[in-house]
Amino acid sequence: MGAFIIMKIAVVGATGLVGGEILKVLAERNFPVTELIPVASERSIGNKIAFKGQEFTVVGYEAAIAAKPDIAIFSAGGSTSLQLAPKFAEAGITVIDNSSAWRMDPTKKLVVPEINAHTLTKEDKIIANPNCSTIQMVVVLNPLHHKYKIKRVVVSTYQSVTGTGKAAVDQLMAERNGDDTVAKVYPYPIDLNVLPHIDVFLDNGYTKEEMKMTNETKKIMMDDSIAVTATTVRIPTIGGHSEAVNVEFENEFELADIYEILGAAEGIVIQDDPANKIYPMPLTAHGKDETFVGRIRRDETQPKTLNMWIVADNLRKGAATNAVQIAEYLAKNGLV
């Protein structure tokens, strides 16, 4: 991983689903944490968090700022990020934020390390982590865009309940067990159902999640000419988000070259052997950091167009791993 400086790290939202995954990823990737500062809301202050065989006490944000961590990884929701990230940044702490709060702020970088980490500088004190469904898509699209130039993307997502949080997982499992006493986070049952509704509906008829994919893709790939239209769907799975992606290029391609480009790209694993029923699934992507791509085939209805199936663990590459990879880049390049 190269020569790292050793670091004091705060995890804001440490007791949540993504916060727990961040701690797991930091440990698994041997990030050089000299001191961990778990931060959560008032009701969790004083609780203990286990990390690498040690126990750490959860503190509030004021104590965390006073401890002067090098990096604070936020996963505590948009309103918390809007309120607290500037306070950490003002204290000279670099914030990597998992919420949607700063993603489309023109003064903030929206980073997927494989694509645009090179744009980061020491002055970037609040760095936005993209939406989970956007991250896995752009990881695959970016190397193809460099070669063939993308004109238009049509994406339909099949998103895990873990993207909503622990309460959604509880709802799914309760429904599966016939227990109707658990609080509902979705407007309808999720077990044995799909909901074409992620986040709130906007005036244009799209949901916020769909527009995130449209807007974030352009920003991360630094190209406003890429047209993206999305339909985002919640399904009763745990383990990862799946996407059917149709990509129209400006230039003609050969399928053999597509395989070669994706096979050589960082963070991508090709699983594409229809004869042996090998293709990406949430079941096999679960717990992994890579983005998996398969069902790669030419769209036979129009020229220069490709179909793909993309799967990644939304709590890992879609959130925790991407944030930790940003922290690794900052540490490796002396940017904190």
Convert the pLDDT of each residue in 139-178 to its tens digit.
999 999 999 999 999 999 999 999 999 999 999 999 999 9
Strand residues in 20-97 grouped as ranges (E): 33-39, 48-51, 54-57, 71-74, 94-97
> Rg (Cα) of the chain, in Å, rounded?
20
pLDDT tier at 7, thresholds 50, 70, 90: confident
H or E stretch covering 115: helix 113-116
Same domain membership, residue 300 and residue 324: no
Residue 13 falls in which region: left (phi positive, over 0), alpha (psi -120 to 50) or beta: left
Residues 87 and 160 occupy one common structural domain: no
Q: Are 12 and 86 in contact (CB under 8 A)?
A: no
The answer to whether the beta carbons of residues 95 and 101 sit under 8 Å apart is: no
Q: Is the same domain home to 142 and 289?
A: yes
Rounded mean pLDDT, 314-331: 97
Same domain, 124 and 200: no
Q: Is residue 1 part of a domain?
A: no
Instruction: Provide the domain limits for residue 306.
Output: 133-314
Please indicate, yes or no, whether residues 200 and 158 belong to a single structural domain of this protein: yes
Burial 175-186 (b: 16+ CB within 10 A, else e): beeeeeeeeebb
Domain match, 69 and 183 both? no
Q: How confident is the model at residue 215 (pLDDT cuts 50, 70, 90)?
A: very high
Whether the per-residue pLDDT at 269 is higher than 80: the answer is yes
Neighbour tally for 187: CB within 10 Å: 8
pLDDT band for position 2 (50/70/90)?
very low
Upper half-sphere CA count for residue 70 (Cβ side, 13 Å): 20
- pTM, rounded to two decimals: 0.95
Q: 132, 145, 146, 197: which is the annotated catalytic residue?
A: 132
Residue 140 CA to residue 280 CA, distance in Å, equals 13
CATH number at residue 120: 3.40.50.720
Same domain, 108 and 150: no
Please count the structural domains in the chain.
Answer: 2
**Residues 73 and 177 grouped into a single domain:** no
DSSP string of 144-200, one letter each residue: HHHHH-EEEEEEEEEE-GGGT-HHHHHHHHHHHTT---SPP-SSS--TT--BS--S-
Can you say whether residue 86 is alpha, beta or left, with left for phi > 0 and alpha for psi between -120 and 50 degrees? alpha
- Quick one: tokens of 232? 């985002």
| Per-residue model confidence (pLDDT) at position 92 | 97
Judgement on whether residues 159 and 92 belong to the same structural domain of the protein: no
What is the layout of strands, in order, in the sheet containing 227-234? Answer: 227-234, 150-159, 241-249, 305-312, 291-298, 268-270
3-state secondary structure of 128: strand
**Pair 184, 306 in one domain:** yes
118 has catalytic annotation: no
pLDDT over 60 at 319, yes or no:
yes
Considering the candidates 145, 146, 241, 286, report the single residue annotated as catalytic. 241
The token duo for 239 is: 């383990």
| Assigned domain for 34 exists | yes
- 140: domain CATH number? 3.30.360.10
User: 241 an active-site residue?
Assistant: yes
Are the C-beta atoms of 116 and 217 separated by less than 8 Å?
Answer: no
Which residues touch 158 (CB under 8 Å, ≥6 apart)?
194, 233, 235, 237, 241, 242, 243, 244
Asked if the structure places residue 54 within a domain, the reply is yes
Confirm whether 108 is domain-assigned. yes
Using the predicted structure, report yes or no on whether residue 6 has a pLDDT greater than 70: no
On whether both 145 and 238 belong to a single domain, the answer is yes
- 314, 132 Cβ separation under 8 angstroms: yes
